[in-house]
Structures are given as structure tokens and as C-alpha cells.
């Protein structure tokens, strides 16, 4: 049957690309498949019993939970977050400086609506979070990239990049950075670079989106202050999420920033979804109010630390002899493998034949060629024994690719 849908799609619809992670979900269901590709939390760390305690509120506060909520979010939860994040933020933000969103992904979209005109330039790390790249691209952004090393964004490269873009007459919309346990690079931005980035933004009158969904999942070392805390000019908006510290199913993210940008994002949110779910906001606040968030977070960290360490040892055993290198993450969800001369797209296909799923690096890069010899690997979802088997299968695939064809 013929259809007029495709030919009548918008230009934006024709330019979108499917997420490789979502496409891989179909493959994950195959029997015997090991997934090192996604970015999902481990189901065994979900605090089901503690969270379920709040369900009683559906009976006693149905008028609140089952009704429309305010666009800015449930005030008691906003107040909790303002206090809980104060050590990282350098101060307790006010209510007009914090907005609750339907997951942190919506925060990126609302920020893009507020900041990007078609043809504007967004400065990002290369590699970067692929859903951020797609979101900003869908809003018409162009990109300029900054390299990443073991200390995060190479901030010293920014002034020359910014001045070069300005000479070309380009409007720079903002700088986007993932500061802690970078997705996908695994690196953490050092404190001197955080200070320098805040100073550069002030010097060139630019804004920063500081994305920090993994920051509270730290295994080694001390928590670091945010860029927001060093930004006396108020140019930084900070994004957080409950997806990694409670569960992605609650679909609650938040942003903290100057009242002007929070107000504008709230206006766009009014036309996007009116409000995030009052049910999950109230239940999440009840969970936090009882102290469960603070008490359970060490359990999450302990679970993931064991898996990170298991993957580290598996890499040393199976991949290091093959010339593969990586940076050991101090927290978060991911490793970024440098595969030498191996094409990661070819490797991903060969790995699937061995029933192990990985993600090639190109979708994470502003310049796809920059990720051709890299791969993002997740360790949080699988058990240590499964990680060992998955890395062993991956090593077999790499070995086969290194054997010259006869």
C-alpha cells in the first residue's frame, strides 16, 4: 500500500538518524548475547522496596499525585535538591534557579530550544554524548570540537577555536561538557581546567552546559567542585539526573542555573509536556526525604566498582596484549577503548557474530572519522563473570581481524 507520509515529512525528520543503542536493543534479545553496548543501570541495584513505601501516598494524597503539577516541578523535591547538591554547587541555589525535567534528555532539548538558532555553533568535546549531538543537530546546530585527554576537555585549545569562529562570523551558542566520568571517554575534568573553562566563558561572554549525570557515582578519589561553583559570572547551567542514582524509570532530571535561562526553559516545557509526572516526583521526594538516597548510593557505587574492576582486569588479560589501550574511569558507566588500527565498525559486526555487542566510536564523534578506531564499552549492566566472557569474545574478534588474509 502506498503512503504519503515519507514525502511529507519535515526537513528535520529527513535529517534525523536513529540511535545505534536503540537499534541494538533488538539484538540484545538474541539467546546467549552479551551486551557491553548499552548504558543501563543494573536492575539489582534498584531500591524497589524503599521506593515502593511511597506508593501509600497514592491513597492519602491522590489529589496531588494524580493531578496536573507545576511546570517547574514539585517544590519539596526542588528544595531537597537545592540542599543536597549545595556542596558540589558551592552554594544552595534558590527555587527560581532550579527546574525539574522529564529525564536529563529533556533538559538538553529545552536548553537547545532556548539557545540554538539554525547555523549556530555548539562547542563540544570530541567524542561526546551521542544523544546530545543528535539533539543539538535536530535544532539546526553546527559543531566545533575540542579534544579530550585523561583530564577531560583540553580547555587550553578553546581561545584559539573561539576566536577563529568569531573571525568567520559564526555565532557560538554555548559550550557543552560532560565533566565527570565522561560518556563515552571515561575521563574526569581536572579542577584547574574547570576553573579555566569558567574564566574563558566569562572572557568571551559565552554560556556553558555542564552535564553531570554520573558525578555522584564515584569509585575512587574525592568529589570535585562543579564548574558552576567557579563561575562568578553566572554563565553556567548544571544538569543532573536521578537515572543513575535511583532509576531511569522515574524519568527525573534537573537543571540549576540563572533565573533567566530556567524561566525560558520552563516556558518551552509548558508547550512540550505541561509538567513532568507528579507521581514520580512526589514518590522520589518521599524516598529522598526518608534518607534512602544517601543510604543506598554506597550500594550502587560498590556494585559498579566491582564490575569496573572486573572489566579492568579482563582488559589487562585479554586486550592489552593485543595493543588496545584505555583510561581507567574513576566512576560512571563506561570505558573508551583505543583499538589502534582496528576499524570499530568492522569489529562491532564481527563481535556480534561471537554474540557480544559493543558500540563503535563514530556515532559519538563530531567528526565520525575520529571515532573509527575507538569503541565505548559499558560495565554496569553485566555481572563480573559475564564481563569476563564478553571481553574474551571481543579479544577473539580482534585477534581474527589482526590475522592477515591469505
CB atoms within 10 A of CB 56: 11
Instruction: Determine the average pLDDT of the residues in 242-266.
Output: 98
In the chain, the percentage of residues whose pLDDT exceeds 90 is 90
Q: What integer pLDDT is reported at residue 26 of this predicted model?
A: 66
Instruction: Determine the average pLDDT of the residues in 75-101.
Output: 98
Q: Are strands 374-378 and 334-338 parallel, antiparallel or unpaired?
A: antiparallel
Q: What integer pLDDT is reported at residue 24 of this predicted model?
A: 62
Instruction: Assess whether pLDDT exceeds 80 at residue 29.
Output: no
* Cα 231 to Cα 240: distance, rounded to the nearest angstrom: 17
Q: What is the pLDDT of residues 166-183, one digit of tens each?
A: 999 999 999 999 999 999
* Cα 15 to Cα 138: distance, rounded to the nearest angstrom: 8
Q: Architecture of 67-292 per CATH? A: 3-Layer(aba) Sandwich (3.40)
Instruction: Determine the average pLDDT of the residues in 80-94.
Output: 98
Q: What integer pLDDT is reported at residue 28 of this predicted model?
A: 66
Q: What is the pLDDT of residues 193-217, one digit of tens each?
A: 999 999 999 999 999 999 999 999 9
**C-alpha cell of 120?**
549556530
Q: What integer pLDDT is reported at residue 2 of this predicted model?
A: 53
Spatial CB neighbours of 193, under 8 Å, sequence gap ≥ 6: 151, 152, 153, 155
Instruction: Assess whether pLDDT exceeds 50 at residue 120.
Output: yes
For the chain, where do the domains classified as CATH 3.40.640.10 start and end?
A: 67-292
Kindly indicate the confidence band of residue 15, based on its pLDDT and cuts at 50, 70 and 90. Answer: confident
Kindly indicate the confidence band of residue 406, based on its pLDDT and cuts at 50, 70 and 90. Answer: very low
Of 22, 23, 19, 15, the closest CA to residue 138 belongs to 15
Chain mean pLDDT for the chain? 95
Task: Please tell me the CATH code under which domain 9-46+295-401 is placed.
Answer: 3.90.1150.10
Q: What integer pLDDT is reported at residue 13 of this predicted model?
A: 85
Burial class from Cβ neighbours inside 10 Å (0-12, 13-18, 19+) for residue 163 reads exposed
Q: What is the pLDDT of residues 352-388, one digit of tens each?
A: 999 999 999 999 999 888 899 999 999 999 999 999 9
CA-atom Rg of the chain in angstroms: 22
Kindly indicate the confidence band of residue 14, based on its pLDDT and cuts at 50, 70 and 90. Answer: confident
Burial class from Cβ neighbours inside 10 Å (0-12, 13-18, 19+) for residue 263 reads middle
Residue given cell 570530541 in the structure block: 126
Instruction: Assess whether pLDDT exceeds 70 at residue 310.
Output: yes
Of 100, 164, 176, the closest CA to residue 134 belongs to 176
Instruction: Assess whether pLDDT exceeds 60 at residue 1.
Output: no
* Cα 193 to Cα 156: distance, rounded to the nearest angstrom: 8
Residue 369 to residues 156, 302, 361, 362, 364: CA-CA distances in angstroms? 23, 36, 9, 6, 10
SS3 217: coil
Q: What is the pLDDT of residues 265-295, one digit of tens each?
A: 999 999 999 999 999 999 999 999 999 999 9
Of 242, 215, 234, 214, the closest CA to residue 226 belongs to 215
Q: What integer pLDDT is reported at residue 370 of this predicted model?
A: 86
In the chain, the percentage of residues whose pLDDT exceeds 70 is 95
Helix (H) or strand (E) holding 336: strand 334-338
Helix (H) or strand (E) holding 285: helix 278-289
For the chain, where do the domains classified as CATH 3.90.1150.10 start and end?
A: 9-46+295-401
Amino acid at each position: 500500500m502506498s503512503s504519503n507520509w515519507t514525502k511529507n515529512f519535515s526537513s528535520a525528520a529527513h535529517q534525523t538518524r536513529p540511535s545505534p543503542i536503540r537499534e541494538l536493543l533488538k539484538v540484545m534479545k538474541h539467546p546467549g548475547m552479551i551486551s557491553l553496548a548499552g548504558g543501563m543501570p543494573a536492575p539489582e541495584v534498584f531500591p524497589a522496596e524503599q521506593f515502593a513505601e511511597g506508593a501509600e501516598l497514592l491513597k492519602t494524597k491522590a489529589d496531588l499525585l494524580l493531578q496536573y503539577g507545576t511546570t517547574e516541578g514539585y517544590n519539596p523535591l526542588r528544595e531537597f535538591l537545592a540542599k543536597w547538591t549545595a556542596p558540589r554547587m558551592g552554594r544552595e541555589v534558590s527555587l527560581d534557579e532550579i527546574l525539574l525535567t522529564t529525564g536529563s534528555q529533556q533538559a538538553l532539548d529545552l536548553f537547545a530550544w532556548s539557545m540554538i538558532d539554525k547555523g549556530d555553533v555548539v562547542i563540544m568535546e570530541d567524542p561526546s554524548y551521542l544523544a546530545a549531538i543528535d539533539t543539538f543537530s535536530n535544532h539546526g546546530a553546527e559543531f566545533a570540537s575540542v579534544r579530550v585527554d585523561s583530564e577531560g576537555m583540553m580547555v587550553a585549545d578553546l581561545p584559539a577555536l573561539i576566536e577563529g569562529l568569531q573571525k568567520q562570523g559564526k555565532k557560538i551558542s554555548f559550550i557543552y561538557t560532560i565533566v565527570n566520568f565522561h560518556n563515552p571517554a571515561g575521563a574526569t575534568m581536572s579542577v584547574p581546567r574547570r576553573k579555566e573553562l569558567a574564566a574563558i566563558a566569562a572572557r568571551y561572554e559565552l554560556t556553558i552546559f555542564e552535564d553531570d549525570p554520573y558525578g555522584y557515582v564515584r569509585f575512587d578519589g574525592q568529589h570535585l567542585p562543579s564548574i558552576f561553583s567557579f563561575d562568578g559570572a553566572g554563565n553556567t547551567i548544571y544538569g543532573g539526573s536521578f537515572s543513575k542514582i535511583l532509576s531511569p524509570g522515574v524519568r527525573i532530571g534537573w537543571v540549576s542555573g540563572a533565573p533567566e535561562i530556567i524561566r525560558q526553559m520552563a516556558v518551552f516545557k509548558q508547550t512540550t509536556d505541561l509538567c513532568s509526572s507528579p507521581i514520580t516526583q512526589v514518590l522520589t521526594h518521599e524516598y529522598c526525604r526518608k534518607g534512602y538516597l544517601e543510604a543506598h548510593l554506597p550500594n550502587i557505587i560498590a556494585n559498579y566498582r566491582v564490575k569496573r574492576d572486573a572489566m579492568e582486569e579482563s582488559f589487562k588479560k585479554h586486550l592489552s596484549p593485543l595493543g588496545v589501550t584505555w583510561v581507567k574511569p574513576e566512576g560512571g558507566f563506561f570505558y573508551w577503548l583505543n583499538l589502534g588500527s582496528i576499524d570499530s565498525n568492522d569489529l562491532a559486526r564481527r563481535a556480534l557474530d561471537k554474540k557480544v555487542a559493543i558500540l563503535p566510536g563514530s556515532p559519538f564523534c563530531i567528526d565520525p572519522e575520529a571515532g573509527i578506531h575507538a569503541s565505548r564499552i559499558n560495565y554496569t549492566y553485566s555481572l563480573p563473570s559475564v564481563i569476563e566472557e564478553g571481553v574474551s569474545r571481543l579479544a577473539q574478534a580482534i585477534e581474527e581481524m589482526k590475522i592477515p588474509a591469505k
